[in-house]
Structure formats: structure tokens, C-alpha cells
Amino acid sequence: MQVPGTFQPRLNQPELNVHSALPPPLEGSSSARPVRSFHPLPVYDLRSSSGRSDAFYAEVDCLADAWVEMIEARAGVLLDGYIRHVLEFLEEPQRSRGEYAFEFLTLGMLWKHYGCTAAATPRWIVETGRALVALRRFPLAKPVANQLRTVLSYAWKLPLVDGEQQEPPAPTLSRVSELIRWLHATGEFEQEALRLENWRSYLAQLRPEKAAHWMSIAVEMFRSFEQEVAGQLGEYTAQVGRFLAVEFPHRGLREDRLFCGRPPAEYHLNMVAAEIMNRGLREAFDHTTEKVVLVPACMRGARAATCQARTDGIDITCSGCDPECAVNDITRRMRNLGASVYIVPHTSGFSRWLTRWQHHPSVGVIAVACLLNILPGGYEMRGRRIASQCVPLDYPGCRKHWSRQGIPTAVNEDRLVQILRPRPC
């Protein structure tokens, strides 16, 4: 699971006139520790002026209720048919109705933001991208594949970077098929593409004009979500627009161009959809007898260079070498609640962990990740039938995507405690 973070200006660029210190550490929490260096504001930050992210979770909880209700009112009949199709024809284990509702909203987001690019991208570029994604599965070929994907990434036009966002063409089943191929080819939307394939399978059973009608409704509802939720969650993504306008154009040739070029609405969708997914999985998670917490390596930040973590196969665990390290603090706190904590280096490491636990239904997994990976990671765990919960980083800071030095990231540890404690009957 990729875990991005805040960004660092190019060394040859003039210093930007921003409030350069990261927000202070959480007050009243055992995770609070001094911030010794200064960096530009993170691209997103879930903490309010109080220094905590509790208000964020309260807002997302309310938004989840409101938007599930709105989607039900507008597309409840469609959800009825889709759920029957998924359960009876595709034979997929049942998910919560809210999750299906937000899949419908995600369909609208994907078409609105990437429908134009998918329609305009030559077929040979898409097929090349798909081949490179497949090639990355082989360790020896992965470096070369990544270099080629870096060049190819400039074929994927971004809605808020490469000029004004164009209005996508009217959605049709054939165009949705093109979008699915494009999503797979980028290597950044694998899980979303799999969910979209299910929707296409169902919509193909409807009359073409009826399928087009419902796809248009999905786009229309996402437009409403994009506009309305921005006023409620926009404070947490206030720096995204500035990053895309000022920092992003000067980053040079990078493989993560599409990953880092997301507009604020995609952050907002992940925020609410992750809450919906957590609700759908909470009962199964509570019934597991063993709990595991996966934390990203970026939580060590600059301390990674001197980290003395223990490695045993794919297991990476904290040795407690640095009393100020966030991973050390979380490891001690979670251990007191009977949970094990493991460090996950990056996306490939996350998938290896899931392969291990998908065969152990007694294990419940809490995955900590950045907002742009929280929903895809949840989809992957869902697909592997792992009882799980996802918790976003309060703010990001990994070297791979944003910060050259690596800024220690943080998570709301009280949120982890709340998930691990049994709920009252």
C-alpha cells in the first residue's frame, strides 16, 4: 500500500511564502512529541486547530449517513438490482448496502475525472500500460518497467493539472469498458477498476438507454458530492490546490504523477467511503480473536535511517530503539491492548501481508495509510475476505512521493484504541 505524505520544495526554486511549520503534535495524546524541523504545510491534514483529528471523524460520520440516505433516495431501485446481480450472478460475498451505494458514487467520480482521458488515449498506449503493470510483478523486470511507466504517465491527462477540466462525453457501456481498460493500464486504480467491472456487468443487462441513464445519474450525484462536501471537508485539503498549481508542475519526470495529481474531491470521497467500509466490516472485525495493526514506514520519517527494526521474513517489528518514534509509541500502546504492530514498507509489502492473512479468518487487521490509498487498500482487504478496519494518517510525509527528507507522519492513536476496544452490546 503506497503511503504518501507532505511535500518539499525543489532545491533550486525560491522559498514559497507559506506558513512553513507543520501543525503542532497532538495535544493530550501519548503520540505527542516535539517537532524539530520545519516543512511546508502537508497536502492534507485531518487535524483541526486543536491539534487533533477528532472533529474530522465526527464530520465524516455525519456525512456518511447523509450521503448513503441521498443515494438511496435517488438510486435505491438500481442498488436493489445490482446487489442481486453481485450476490447471485457474480457470487461475491455480501457487502453492506452503504458500500454498494458509494461504489455507485465512485463510478460517477471515475467517469467525470478520467472519462475524457480514457476516450482520448490511443489503444496502443493503453495496452502498453497494461503490459508494464503486468511486468512489474517480476522483481528483476520491475525497475525497467517503472522507468517506462514514468514516461508513459505523461499520456494520462490530469483533470486539474493539464489545462482546464473538460466535460466527459456521455457515458455508454462501450466507453465505460474503455475507462476500465485505462484504469488498469495506469496501475493506480486497480481496485476501483475491479469494482467498476462489476457495475458494467450489471448495467450490460439493462436496456442501453436505461444503462446510460443510470450512469448519468452517478455522474450527476458525484458532481453534487464534489460541490457540497468541499464546504465541509475542504479545510482538511486546503493545500491540495496550491500543491497542484505551484509544486506539482516542477517535480520533473516521476512515476507517481497520476497518484499525486489527484483533485481534492478524490480525497473527500476516500474519507467518506472509508468510513462506510469500516462500518460494513466492523462486526466481522470485532469477532476476530487476534488483532494486527499495520503501520506505514513513513511514520518513522527521518528516523528511518537509524531505525533498528527487527526483520524476520516479511515481518518488520519495532525494537524500541527511539523513544520519540511514533511507531515505538504505537507499538507499546497497542501491545497493551493485545494487538501486534508491524511496519509495512510500501504497496508490495502490504499485498504480501494480505496474502498471509486471507487464510486466517481469526485475524482482524487495522491498516494505517494515507487518504489516497485508504479506499484501494480497504477494497483489497475486502476482496480477500479479511476482517479489517482502515485508519488514515492525520497527515502524510513519505520520501517516495512528497518529502525529500521524510517527515514522520502521525495517526490518531485514540482512534486505534477505540477500534480495538470491544463495543458495548
pLDDT tens column, 97-142: 999 999 999 999 999 999 998 988 999 999 999 999 999 888 888 8
Kindly report the number of other CB atoms within 10 A of residue 91's CB atom: 7
pLDDT band at 307 (very low <50, low <70, confident <90, very high): confident
Checking if the pLDDT of 163 tops 70, the result is: no
Strand partners, 410: 395
**How far is Cα 73 from Cα 375, in angstroms, rounded to an integer?**
24
Checking if the pLDDT of 17 tops 50, the result is: no
312, exposed or middle or buried, with CB in 10 Å at 0-12, 13-18, 19+? exposed
C-alpha cell at 6: 507532505
Question: What average pLDDT does range 299-320 have in this prediction?
Answer: 83
Residues 6+ apart with CB under 8 A from 365: 291, 292, 293, 294, 353, 354, 357, 381, 386, 387, 388, 389
More confidently predicted of 342 and 168: 342
pLDDT band at 252 (very low <50, low <70, confident <90, very high): confident
Question: What average pLDDT does range 35-53 have in this prediction?
Answer: 74
Residues 6+ apart with CB under 8 A from 248: 161, 260, 261
Checking if the pLDDT of 300 tops 60, the result is: yes
Task: Name the range with the highest mean pLDDT among 244-258, 294-308, 313-327, 377-391.
Answer: 377-391
Checking if the pLDDT of 12 tops 60, the result is: no
Question: For residue 32, what pLDDT is reported?
Answer: 39
How do the residues of the chain divide into helix, strand and coil, expressed in percent and rounded to 5? 55, 10, 35
Question: What average pLDDT does range 13-41 have in this prediction?
Answer: 39
Nearest to 221 by CA among 182, 177, 265: 265
303, exposed or middle or buried, with CB in 10 Å at 0-12, 13-18, 19+? middle
C-alpha cell at 88: 447471485
Kindly report the number of other CB atoms within 10 A of residue 347's CB atom: 18
Name the least confident of 173-177, 209-213, 256-260. Answer: 256-260
Torsion of CA 299, 304, 310, 314, to 10 degrees: 70
pLDDT band at 336 (very low <50, low <70, confident <90, very high): very high
On average, the pLDDT of the chain sits at 85
Question: What average pLDDT does range 206-233 have in this prediction?
Answer: 96
**How far is Cα 303 from Cα 89, in angstroms, rounded to an integer?**
50
pTM higher than the cut 0.75: yes
Phi (first) and psi of residue 120, to 5 degrees:
-95, -15
Sign of the C-alpha dihedral computed for residues 137, 140, 146 and 152 taken in this order: negative
Only one residue has cell 481496485, namely 191
Separation in Å, CA 46 to CA 54, 72, 185, 307? 9, 28, 31, 27
Extents of the domains making up the chain: 54-268
**Which amino acid does the sequence have at 359?**
H
Question: What average pLDDT does range 41-55 have in this prediction?
Answer: 90
Residues 6+ apart with CB under 8 A from 295: 326, 327, 330, 341, 342, 343, 344, 368, 411
Residue 44 Ramachandran class (φ > 0 left, ψ -120 to 50 alpha, else beta): beta
pLDDT band at 38 (very low <50, low <70, confident <90, very high): very low
Separation in Å, CA 100 to CA 12, 86, 189, 237? 47, 10, 18, 26
Query: How far out from the chain centre does Cα 307 lie?
Result: 26
pLDDT band at 155 (very low <50, low <70, confident <90, very high): confident
Question: For residue 2, what pLDDT is reported?
Answer: 39
Sign of the C-alpha dihedral computed for residues 107, 110, 113 and 116 taken in this order: negative
**Which amino acid does the sequence have at 361?**
P
Checking if the pLDDT of 322 tops 90, the result is: no
**How far is Cα 110 from Cα 180, in angstroms, rounded to an integer?**
9
Question: What average pLDDT does range 251-263 have in this prediction?
Answer: 86
Nearest to 305 by CA among 408, 410, 409: 408
DSSP assigned state of 410: B
Question: What average pLDDT does range 209-224 have in this prediction?
Answer: 96
Question: What average pLDDT does range 51-76 have in this prediction?
Answer: 96
Question: For residue 164, what pLDDT is reported?
Answer: 55
More confidently predicted of 375 and 405: 375
Q: Say if residues 353 and 297 touch (Cβ distance below 8 Å).
A: no
Question: For residue 5, what pLDDT is reported?
Answer: 36
More confidently predicted of 173 and 255: 173
Question: For residue 110, what pLDDT is reported?
Answer: 96
